[in-house]
Structure 1
Amino acid sequence: MKRTIFLSVFGLAFLLTACAQAQVEAPTIITKKEWGGTPPSGTKEIQQIEYITIHHSGVDVPEDKDPIEYLKNLERFSKEDKHWIDNPYHYMIDLDGNIYEARPLEYAGDTNTEYDPEGHALICVIGNYENQKIKPSQLESLAQLTAWLAEEYEVPVTKIATHKDYSDETVCPGEDLYAYFENGTFITMVKELLK
Structure 2
Amino acid sequence: MTILRTALLVSITLLLATGCANQLGSPEREQGHDSFEMTASSEELLEGWTREGEWLVSPVLDVPDGANRAGALVGLTSPGEMPAMEARVLSAGEPAGEWTTLGATWSEEDQHVAVAELGAIGDGAQLRIRAGAVEILQLLRWTATIPDEAVEAPEEEELGTSREALRTELRGLGIVTRESWGARATRCTDGDSRKTRFAVHHTVTSSTDPARQMRGIQRFHQDTRGWCDVGYHFLVGQDGRIYEGRPLHLLGAHVGGHNTGNIGISFIGCFHTSGCGGLGASRPTDGSIEIAGRLVGTLSRLYGITVDSARVRGHRDHSGQSTTCPGDHLRGRLSEIVSVGRTQTLSGSTPAPTPTPTPTPGASCRHTFGGNYANHACSASYQCCDGTWRTRGACGGCTCVEASGETGCSGGPPPGASCTHSFGGRYANTACSASYQCCDGTWRARSSGGCGTCFCTEASGSTGCGT
**TM range, smaller chain:** 0.7 to 0.9
Q: Name the TM-score, length of structure 1 as normaliser.
A: 0.78
Aligned equivalents of 2:170, 2:253: Cα separation in 1: 28
CA contact (8 A) 1:129 1:173 kept: yes
Counterpart of 2:328 (choices 175, 179, 190) is 175
Q: RMSD value over aligned CA atoms?
A: 2.1
Identity among equivalent positions (%) equals 25
1:123 equivalent in structure 2: 265
User: What amino acid is aligned across from residue 303 of structure 2 in structure 1?
Assistant: Y
**SS of corresponding position for 2:183:** coil
C-alpha change, 1:24 and 1:109, in structure 2 (3 Å) is: closer
Alignment-derived partner of residue 343 in structure 2:
192
The aligned counterpart of 1:156 is 306
Quote the residue 2:184 is aligned against: 38
State the aligned residue count: 167
Shift in Å at residue 136 of structure 1?
0.4
CA contact (8 A) 2:188 2:250 kept: no
Partner of 2:155 in structure 1? none
Residue identity opposite 2:296 in structure 1: T
- Structure 2 residue corresponding to 1:74, chosen from 214, 217, 223: 217
The residue type equivalent to 1:165 in the other structure is D
Secondary structure in 2 matching 1:173: coil
Gaps spanning 5+ residues in structure 1: where?
A: 1-22
| Preserved CA contact (<8 Å) 1:115 1:166 | no
**2:333 is paired with a residue of what secondary structure?**
helix
Q: Which has the higher contact order (CA 8 A, sep 6+)?
A: 1
- How many Å apart are 1:185 and its aligned residue? 3.0
- Give the unaligned 5+ runs of structure 2: 1-168, 274-281, 347-467
Change (3 A) 1:87 1:172: same
CA spacing shift, 1:135–1:170, aligned 2, 3 Å? same
CA distances 1:108-148 after superposition (whole Å, capped 9, x unpaired): 1113x633211111111001110401110110111111111
Of stretches 23-32 and 122-131 in structure 1, the one that deviates more from structure 2 is 23-32
For the pair 1:145 / 2:298, whether they are aligned, the reply is no
More helix by share: 1
Match of 1:44, as an amino acid? D
Distance 2:209 2:290 in 1: 21
Deviation at 1:34, TM superposition (A): 1.4
Q: Residue 55 of structure 1 aligns with which residue?
A: 201
CA distance in 1, matches of 2:286, 2:187: 35
- Checking the alignment, whether the CA contact within 8 Å between 2:192 and 2:261 is kept in structure 1 is no
Gap change, CA 1:98 and 1:42, over 3 Å in 2: same
Higher Cα Rg: structure 1 or 2? Answer: 2
